[in-house]
Structure 1
Amino acid sequence: MKLHTLKPAEGSVRTNKRLGRGQGSGGSTAGRGHKGAQSRSGYHAKPGFEGGQMPLQRRVPKFGFKNNNKVYYKAVNLDALETLAAKNSGGNISLQFLIENGIVGKNDKVKVLGRGELKSKISVEAHAFSATATKAIETAGGSATIVK
């Protein structure tokens, strides 16, 4: 097999009907139906045009507001860290470790919150910590490191 011999599977590629190119392209209307804007040459529908029907972007009401400057965090609680500490023998829970275990996505910013109880001595890396989470981690003998 060589690059110049590659071709698609038999029957997988069909040639398009050449619309609006006279009698030879499929009968008197050339596959365009009868009359109307879509049968004419030069026809171009605007994006979102639904043939005069009230388009979707106008039927659906405007709702909400998204602040582009707000930083959205993915919350990770102490009880989740406690279960992860059992998996991790080193006691070091980094952002990479959280991503590998499916707790957060690779583009998420992580904030550790104080729900649950922490018994293990662990050092945690995150983008933000709540006051109760920091206190609980340091009480257990661990450390909370803020990552930029």
Structure 2
Amino acid sequence: MCLASSVRANVMEICEACSVRANLMDIYEASSVRANLMDIYEASSVRANLMDICEASSVRANLMDIYEASSVRANLMDICEASSVRPNLMDIYEATSVRANLMDICETSSVRAYPMDIYETSSVKANLMYIYETSSVRVNLMDICEASSV
């Protein structure tokens, strides 16, 4: 699920091209092409572009729509692992309609560290307790509790 380190470097370079970000936001905000964007995102060569979209606050709601499509869950986990978009995952978590999907992320060992980042944001502590009360993810959250950084 993790992006290769060599790919991450290129991702950061692309993210810094603000002229590209504007164009992607224009395309994404056209509701008629949302389905197409999901197809584009699944092509690993354009993963960085969706990260640019994530960072645009005006389209955060649309990212939630993409996330709820089970076929792209794995890709969102890749986004989670990109430190530049961690705040957006917190925004997604606060949307009650996608709580179940975040539980899927919690159960993926490669992204356990990120729920710790979410927990440290006081505004979402209550939501993390909600995850903890779901028996299927208790073990993973106990692992998080035992992490020295917490």
TM, length-normalised to structure 1: 0.29
Question: Which structure has the higher relative contact order (CA within 8 Å, separation 6+)?
Answer: 2
Higher-strand-fraction structure: 1
TM, length-normalised to structure 2: 0.29
